[in-house]
Amino acid sequence: MSASIFREYDIRGIFQEELNENIVKKIGFYFAKELLKKVPTAKYIAVGFDARVHSPILKDWLSSGINNAGLLVLDMGLVPTPVNYFSNFQEFDGLKSDGSIMITGSHNPPEYNGFKITIDKEPFFGEQIYALGRDILADESVISDNTKTTKIDAKNRYIDFIVDHFKDLKLTNKKFVFDCGNGVAGVVLREILDKLNIKHHILFETPDGTFPNHHPDPSDEHTLIDIKKELDSGEFDFGFAYDGDADRIALLSPTNNFKGDILAIFFSRFIDNPTVIGEVKCTQIMYDIINSYGKAVMYKTGHSNLKVKIKELNASFAAEVSGHLFFNDRYFGYDDAVYATFRALELIDNNFDFDKEYEELPKVFSTPEINITVTEDTKFVIIEKLKEALANPDDNFPKIKDIITVDGVRVIFDKGWGLVRASNTTPKLVTRFEADTQENAKVYETALMELFEKIK
């Protein structure tokens, strides 16, 4: 067993090599015990799984652990991760879950799988996951087979909810293309579109955990080649692409790819007095614009962090650049790419001009994420050293206006900013730079990277 599978936001590893029968059963067992500590009256854990070929096997192992701990499994089968989250807010013939586990490797390669966990509608993450791992790694017992589950139809409950919520859409004069990437968005998408009379063409709809067409990661431009070809044909007004478990989205017009922080600006304009949470990688434009009519809060990267912050502030919305979009306005405050699709279609139905509004935003140059490989042992140490060095930089270092340390180091300069943060899931530092020009962004990047080389 390896402690490395227990990560900040979820549990993830290679099937059999790291996620074997013994450890998966114990994940189910010890999570059930933790749930009972928090909710002593708990009876049920809702379990769903993604399209990976080994997900059904993991479900059986996980169920054995849960059953042996004295709780029961509500089995929703093959569903998107947001449907798994959705089940926590529903009753199924009087049965209601007190926690949920989604079996998913998200956008990792096909040999990976993992678990996204909630407890009493809140994310189970950080120290909770690390403590779970310590308990599991210290236990040498063997858990017997008991794969009994109770089936629930969360998928159709979710479909009915979305259809009812957006039943007034009238988009008969437009046509859209959707790329499911052979992930689980395809499990629900077509039926919703058909019931709402939305004209559509769906790419790679059939769930297939080998991902035969392209890797399901819409934050990677290389995975958008197919949908961009469709948009280039002139047949479609907009395109939507999803990651493997449908909690991240890419929204594209024939001319633009709208990242999560830009979408946060657009969506927030139609929410009264919005409070919007962004991560440290979001463009400064987002914070400045939203603060002109609402409140924008900068917080840590990570879907679990943002879900917790939304609840703490009762915020309207949260966003990550990568396409995690969290609606707490008219929804439940978790990241749902399918729901976000229909909020975007709602704007289109109301004649919101995405391209025009995008072109009218202040112009800045932003780099993509630039990753630096380090080690697990040094990544947080380097960040602390960087903070110390920035307190007294050389005279030739660009003028610093402010330093934000909510997650790593975001250095505010006269004409832009630079970010260096430690990844919570990999042995890497994540950097991003933004400025009024490409040249200034390069100046800030060079200055921070030279400082990094001195202190690493």
Beta strands at 112-119 and 99-103: parallel, antiparallel or unpaired:
antiparallel
CA gap 412, 401 in Å, rounded: 5
What is the distance in angstroms between the CA of the first residue and the CA of the last residue of the chain? Answer: 31
Percentage of the chain lying above the pLDDT 90 cut: 96
- The full set of domains in the chain, from first to last, is 3-155 (3.40.120.10), 174-257 (3.40.120.10), 259-361 (3.40.120.10), 365-455 (3.30.310.50)
Q: Which two tokens stand for residue 441?
A: 């962004």
Q: How large is the C-alpha radius of gyration of the chain?
A: 22
Q: What is the pLDDT of residue 107?
A: 85
Q: What is the mean pLDDT of residues 79-94?
A: 97
Contacts of 12 (CB under 8 A, 6+ apart): 5, 105, 106, 108, 112, 113, 114, 115, 425
Find the DSSP H helices in 183-283.
189-195, 225-232, 260-268
Contacts of 103 (CB under 8 A, 6+ apart): 47, 48, 49, 50, 52, 55, 58, 59, 62, 113, 114, 115
Q: What is the mean pLDDT of residues 114-125?
A: 96
Grade residue 195 by pLDDT with cuts at 50, 70 and 90: very high
Residue range 40-58, pLDDT digits in tens: 999 999 999 999 999 999 9
SS3 366: strand
φ/ψ of 285, rounded to 5, equals -55, -40
Residue 253 pLDDT greater than 70, yes or no: yes
Residue 2 pLDDT greater than 80, yes or no: no
Beta strands at 112-119 and 122-123: parallel, antiparallel or unpaired:
antiparallel
- Mean pLDDT, the chain, whole residue set: 96
Q: What is the pLDDT of residue 376?
A: 86
Length of the chain: 456
* Angle 451-412-380 from CA coordinates, rounded to 5°: 50
Q: What is the mean pLDDT of residues 216-240?
A: 97
From the list 68, 161, 62, the residue with the least C-alpha distance to 116 is 62
Q: Name residue 373's beta-bridge partners.
A: 428
Residue 435 pLDDT greater than 70, yes or no: yes
Residue 34 pLDDT greater than 70, yes or no: yes
Q: What is the pLDDT of residue 3?
A: 84
* Angle 68-71-75 from CA coordinates, rounded to 5°: 105
Q: What is the mean pLDDT of residues 284-291?
A: 98
Q: What is the pLDDT of residue 444?
A: 97
Residue 229 pLDDT greater than 70, yes or no: yes
Q: What is the mean pLDDT of residues 8-36?
A: 96
What type of residue is 217?
Answer: D
Percentage of the chain lying above the pLDDT 70 cut: 100
- Secondary element (H or E) of residue 305: helix 303-313
Give CA separation, 259 vs 90, 203, 220, 250, in Å. 31, 21, 11, 7
* DSSP for residue 398: P
SS3 325: strand
Q: Which two tokens stand for residue 248?
A: 């991240």
Grade residue 1 by pLDDT with cuts at 50, 70 and 90: low
- pTM of this prediction exceeds 0.85: yes
Read out DSSP for 80-135?
A: -HHHHHHHTT--BTTB--SEEEEE--TTS-TTEEEEEEEETTEE--THHHHHHHHH
SS3 387: helix
From the list 371, 352, 282, 288, the residue with the least C-alpha distance to 318 is 282
Q: Which two tokens stand for residue 256?
A: 């633009």
* DSSP for residue 188: T
Beta strand extents in 267-316 (DSSP E only): 275-279, 295-299
CB atoms within 10 A of CB 426: 14
CB of 2 closer than 8 Å to CB of 72: no
Beta strands at 275-279 and 295-299: parallel, antiparallel or unpaired:
parallel
CA gap 252, 275 in Å, rounded: 25
Residue holding tokens 């009972």? Answer: 36
Question: Which active-site residues does the annotation give?
Answer: 12, 106, 324
